Amino acid sequence: MGGAAGDMILASLISAGAPAGEVEESVRGLGLPVRLELRRVEISGIAALGLRVDAPEEHAHRTFRDIRRLIEGSGLPERAAGRALAAFGLLAAAEGRVHGVPPEEVAFHEVGAADSIADIVGACAALELLGAETVSCGPLPMGSGVVEAAHGPLPVPGPATLEVLRGCRVRWPEEEREMTTPTGAALLRALTGGEFSDAAPPMVLGAAGYGAGTARLRGAPNLLRAVVGRLEGPVGGLEVLEANIDDAPGEVLGAAVERLLEAGAPDAWLEPVVMKRGRGAYKLCALARRQDRERLARLMMRETGSLGVRHHGVGRTVAERRLVEVELPYGRCRVKVGSLDGEDFAVAPEHADAARLARESGRPLPRVYDDARRAASELLRQSP
């Protein structure tokens, strides 16, 4: 691998099969006036995609709070939104440590620009379109030298990149340029949980794509390769995280569930329990992919004050799933369809879309759900 920048990651995923038009539509859901400009290039004899996000020049700087609002109001699928928020959360924490300010108050400069937001959100949307349950990658290349930034010249790797990758395996090729940007570092750490391994997981290969960088490197082609495949072994192997909590108010526990989902937990919930001496309490639970276990366990402790989190592996049998889009009289809604052995058996509207349509149209949310289910069922009956 050559570099690891946000635009290269997104370009590689589109090259590997994510539909560019649907990715662009997801990015536009943020309300930003952006356009994805793709170009075919050849590097070391390999056909690749170069990507430029066409966006107007901006002078205002966005905070993490601003970006969170954009993503939460975008209508992205929950997993894609959670992955994007996790990446920006890592960036906010890193920039906060570098500049000595709270993460929520960090004013992003380069990373807060529309093109960098589009890189991160577009990559998370592309992964959703590819059906990527998990992501893995090797140690990221650092590089050396000096790069110009909003605050002036900065050493390579940049301080924010180092903070994002603290505790992760990295490599140091002899290249006097920035090899991994803060955006690329945060995105890949959020997607992998920071578990960067030289060995790729065993899989049945499906597709591969290449994202191209613009700089010419001495020791490697400036390409980032994305490989899509079906992992061998049990599908959907997860861990359950849980903690008994008897000293936190309901609003704190509810917020903890939401934060876990935003941070990429496939599911999170509360269970009422009775502890010693008959004390009523709640057990906070979350599903976590193995590479996310430590990150989500620490988040659970920070959000609730719990001093420990139990975890154990679980198996999971999953149905095939796909998204269809239906046109209702008052707007479009995405609907998740579940199937077993080629037979559809479950139809569930995307909550974010249904909630948005309910707000915009003034209709009750259950009515929107019913309308979307009926429209999706009719669409499926008409499909060959």
* CATH code where residue 256 lies: 3.30.70.1380
* Same-domain check for residues 245 and 183: no
* Same-domain check for residues 221 and 142: yes
pTM beyond cutoff 0.85? no
Say if residue 253's pLDDT is above 90: yes
**Model confidence at 75, in pLDDT bands (50, 70, 90)?**
confident
pLDDT of residue 321: 80
Asked whether residue 1 is domain-assigned, the answer is: no
* Same-domain check for residues 148 and 275: no
Asked whether residue 82 is domain-assigned, the answer is: yes
Asked whether residue 29 is domain-assigned, the answer is: yes
Asked whether residue 28 is domain-assigned, the answer is: yes
* Same-domain check for residues 89 and 163: yes
* Same-domain check for residues 132 and 58: yes
Asked whether residue 263 is domain-assigned, the answer is: yes
* Same-domain check for residues 266 and 362: no
State the CATH number of the domain containing residue 334. 3.10.20.300
Which region among 49-53, 152-156, 165-169 has the lowest average model confidence (pLDDT)?
152-156
* Same-domain check for residues 11 and 26: yes
Final residue in a domain of this structure, among 163, 197, 231: 231
Buried b vs exposed e over 24-52: b needs ≥16 C-beta within 10 Å?
Answer: bebbebbebebebeeeebebeeeebbbbe
**Model confidence at 23, in pLDDT bands (50, 70, 90)?**
very high
Asked whether residue 350 is domain-assigned, the answer is: yes
Asked whether residue 48 is domain-assigned, the answer is: yes
Q: What's the half-sphere exposure (Cβ side, CA atoms, 13 Å) at 192?
A: 22
Domain count, the chain: 3
Q: What's the rounded Cα separation, in Å, for the pair 296 and 290? A: 10
Q: Answer yes or no: are the C-beta atoms of 107 and 62 closer than 8 Å.
A: yes
Final residue in a domain of this structure, among 231, 255, 283: 231
* Same-domain check for residues 226 and 125: yes
C-alpha distances in Å from residue 286, one per residue of 268, 292, 353: 4, 11, 24
Q: Which domain holds residue 209?
A: 6-231
**Model confidence at 123, in pLDDT bands (50, 70, 90)?**
very high
Q: Answer yes or no: are the C-beta atoms of 56 and 34 closer than 8 Å.
A: no
Percent of the chain with pLDDT over 70: 95
* Same-domain check for residues 84 and 129: yes
Tokens of residue 82, six digits: 């959670």
**Secondary structure (3-state) at 350:** coil
Final residue in a domain of this structure, among 171, 200, 231: 231
* Same-domain check for residues 69 and 49: yes
Beta strands across the sheet bearing 267-274: 267-274, 280-288, 238-245, 310-314
Q: Answer yes or no: are the C-beta atoms of 303 and 311 closer than 8 Å.
A: no
* Same-domain check for residues 249 and 108: no
Say if residue 39's pLDDT is above 90: yes
- What mean pLDDT do residues 293-318 have? 87
Residue owning tokens 């994805």: 36
* Same-domain check for residues 134 and 225: yes
Q: What tens digit of pLDDT does each residue of 365-382 get?
A: 999 999 999 999 998 888
